[in-house]
Structure 1
Amino acid sequence: MSKSTMTPRPESRLSVFFDARFTRTTHHDGISRYGACLLAALLEAVEDTDIDVTAIISDRAQLALLPECRWVELNDPTSPAEVAVAGRLNALGADVVFSTMQTMGSFGRRYGLILTIHDLIYYSHPQPPGDLPLPIRLLWRAYHLSYTPQRLLLNRADAVAAVSETTKDLIAAHHLTTKPVAVVSNAAEVAAASTRTVNRSDAKTLIYMGAFLPYKNVEALIRALEHLPGWTLHIASRIEGRREAQLRSLIPDRAKVVFHRGISEEDYARLLDEATALVTASREEGFGLPVIEAMAQGVPVAVSDIPIFNEIAGAAAVYFDQEDPRSIAEAITRLTDAGTWEKQSQAGLVQSQKFDWTDSAAALVELIRSVAAERTTGATKRIGGADERESRS
């Protein structure tokens, strides 16, 4: 049985359910953070409007990472019960449902549905996250053998949300849906810091924050240290022991790599404050939150020359060929010039604010209203057609 903090609502109001079941319970990953930040901004955006928002969770422990709001507890999104979730949302009176993923069950739904797509990375890099159950990992690989399953999933919706213009362009390039696609952008969780007063061009300190799947290409960052004598690379994120051993085996002689194996947000902020740059050699990305967050703190970024980083970092980044360790080192070395470091630091502060949760929430509200209006128009046309047929009989 579902449990909730819902209260009755006037019939004239629009009942929106926000699928937050991909929220973690102890610390955010990328999708979890996207959902939590977007939900918080959406709740502010709909204050004093006719929209009521209810979060869907599958574990009450998720509430610790979500903003305070009305909620309803339904099944885990990866369980067999997902095939019946639409019936439960019908019974709860949903008008529009927004999901932070594209896999939400929809059979028999009587509400508007907006699904989110973050990236298409796993078509070219099909290895699934290791923390998923084996059956889900096998299904993951099968799903990414063809674009057909993706098209079937997205075309069940009334509209699709993409987290970046880059992802929206890829959706169009691969003809993934006939439904309207709008950008509901990812953004930094924090606002821009004040102007940096300490120039770290001579610190010779680099930070990597992210996962360790093959497309993240962390190996290239480690190999680049051969061309960066005296530099230290801090790997801040959690890492599994065998993966750490694999990366350690690549460290060049006399190079220094520090594995933090996870770090608190406070310690991470201090580490960034002392760094010359945040670095990432990803071959593909859906967005790149660590890049935005570093820029918001005034930390220059050295990144792969790929479309998504050009979109989110613009002229605030120094770019390199992610397959060439020497190119990586040359880009990083540019930041040892104090003037260049200062210029990139200031540019990053400005650029990071182009992606804002308030704007993302406004885009989502517009999409919600569009879907609701389209469904109302469609229902009216169907009723009108039925009345006309009845009058002729």
Structure 2
Amino acid sequence: MDARYTRTDFHDGISRYGSSLIDAVVRRAARREGAVRFRVEMLIHDERQLALLPVGVSWHRVGAPTSVAEPLVARRVNALAPDVVFSPMQTMGSFGRCYGLILTLHDLIYYQHRTPPQNLPLPVRLLWRLYHLGYGPQRLLLNRADRVATVSETTAALIRRHRLTRRPVDVVSNAPQAVQAPRDPDRAPDKSLVYMGSFMEYKGVDDLVAAVPLLPGYTLHLLSTITPGRRAELEQALDAARRREGACGGTVVFHGGVSDERYVELLRSATALVTLSRAEGFGLPLAEAMSHGTPVVATDLPIFHEIGGDDGAYLPVDVAEAPATVLAAAVRRLERPDAFAAASRAAARQAERFTWDASADRLLDAAEAVLQARRSVPEQCPPAATTPTAP
């Protein structure tokens, strides 16, 4: 399992997805009855990544996934003689591979919103933009795999609609971390709202901030790391909204990143997790909030319906009145104790649909299908030299 996208300080979305899936796959692989029992090993590029990865799993160090040598990484992986390799991204190099390969495509967001993640090196960001100018490069990468994984039925449907691959597509969902018990739905929440996610334009954070003057007494917690320039833009947007509405309303807190413990603490006391994103591949913060019994208020996107079910509060992506006004009205509806309690219970029930164990089982089934399919064709690679496993 390719763990090279794991961070060395704290998890982001891809890092948590890969690490959580590895942990579940290791546990589920040992319990499979009447099926192939895989031995699970990890690929890393920096030993500091091990701090955020499951303990006790064998690992091998290969090049970083952002290295210029990434297209040829299969040469190094061949020496490890794996049966199947799973990568949580679609960009893993595959030239000359002698093993089964499952690549992951999380979403198609960057075909509509082409600004790449700013934490990538400049050359990678330039290639990112070129890569998303058309679907051809995506098809080339995905068709080099044996199977393709994705995190939601919504994205799987988009992959089929755009004919991005001839390979079978498996839904290996994201999932929240296990929760001992949801919050008490009958206990009145704090007048607080939580946003977890990036601050890219399509995320709609400007509209979240614009709703704050319409919600006296509320605090909007923006949890993720943010650049000084983007923070200044949002502070200006808040000032403009206050002047426009003629009211100070609530407050905004920029956390600049939070620990997992603080994140859970804020979720379990908030009135709702809010997002006005225009595009998502899964929407993990929604599932995380719901697992704790915290209602969600989100844009009316197919993916959010898939995650949030029939009982979520969904706001039209394009509305005649200001999105901030519609958001504020949805939040105020949750001020009724009966409305909050019902939404909290419904959220916790819906979140039970997403577990890492279920996702691990789907990935193991896909890996077994790859292995069986490759056994039915003549061997095309010479036997690989064995390489000692790292301690």
TM-score (norm 2): 0.90
RMSD (Å) for aligned C-alpha atoms: 1.5
Contact 1:192 1:353 in 2 (8 A): no
Q: 1:249 aligns with which of 233, 236, 245?
A: 236
Letter in 2 for 1:369: E
Q: CA deviation at 1:332?
A: 1.5
Contact 2:212 2:252 in 1 (8 A): no
1:181 maps to which residue? 169
2:364 maps to which residue? 365
CA separation in 2, counterparts of 1:179 and 1:341?
44
Contact 1:216 1:283 in 2 (8 A): yes
In the superposition, relative to structure 1, how do residues 195 and 238 fare at CA in structure 2: closer, same or farther (>3 Å)? closer
CA separation in 1, counterparts of 2:260 and 2:78?
40
Q: CA deviation at 1:21?
A: 0.4
2:266 maps to which residue? 271
Tell whether 2:42 aligns with 1:47: no
2:14 maps to which residue? 31
CA separation in 2, counterparts of 1:21 and 1:34?
12
Contact 2:185 2:293 in 1 (8 A): no
Letter in 1 for 2:27: E
1:279-335 superposed Cα distances (whole Å, 9 cap, x missing partner)? 011001111111111111111111111011100111242111244222212222221
Q: CA deviation at 1:195?
A: 4.9
Tell whether 2:221 aligns with 1:221: no
Tell whether 2:136 aligns with 1:141: no
2:181 maps to which residue? 193
Corresponding residue pairs, total: 363
Contact 2:185 2:342 in 1 (8 A): no
Q: CA deviation at 1:91?
A: 1.7
Q: CA deviation at 1:190?
A: 2.5
Letter in 2 for 1:341: F
Q: Equivalent pairs: percent with the same residue? A: 50
Q: CA deviation at 1:379?
A: 2.4
Q: Which has the higher contact order (CA 8 A, sep 6+)?
A: 2
Contact 1:292 1:352 in 2 (8 A): yes
In the superposition, relative to structure 1, how do residues 50 and 232 fare at CA in structure 2: closer, same or farther (>3 Å)? closer
TM-score (norm 1): 0.89
Unaligned runs of 5+ in 1: 1-17, 383-393
CA separation in 1, counterparts of 2:229 and 2:178?
33
Q: CA deviation at 1:172?
A: 0.5
1:130-150 superposed Cα distances (whole Å, 9 cap, x missing partner)? 111110111111111101110
In the superposition, relative to structure 1, how do residues 376 and 90 fare at CA in structure 2: closer, same or farther (>3 Å)? same
Tell whether 2:369 aligns with 1:374: no
1:326 maps to which residue? 325
Give the structure with the larger strand fraction: 1
Following TM superposition, the consecutive aligned residue runs of length 4 or more in structure 1 with deviations greater than 6 angstroms are none
1:163-193 superposed Cα distances (whole Å, 9 cap, x missing partner)? 1111101101111001000101110022362
Letter in 1 for 2:82: A
2:196 maps to which residue? 209
CA separation in 2, counterparts of 1:264 and 1:233?
17
1:21 maps to which residue? 4
Letter in 1 for 2:307: I
CA separation in 2, counterparts of 1:270 and 1:220?
25
In the superposition, relative to structure 1, how do residues 302 and 192 fare at CA in structure 2: closer, same or farther (>3 Å)? farther
Contact 2:149 2:171 in 1 (8 A): yes
CA separation in 2, counterparts of 1:91 and 1:264?
38
Letter in 2 for 1:164: S
1:343-381 superposed Cα distances (whole Å, 9 cap, x missing partner)? 01001111111001000000001000000101111228x
2:307 maps to which residue? 312
In the superposition, relative to structure 1, how do residues 232 and 144 fare at CA in structure 2: closer, same or farther (>3 Å)? same
Contact 1:193 1:349 in 2 (8 A): no
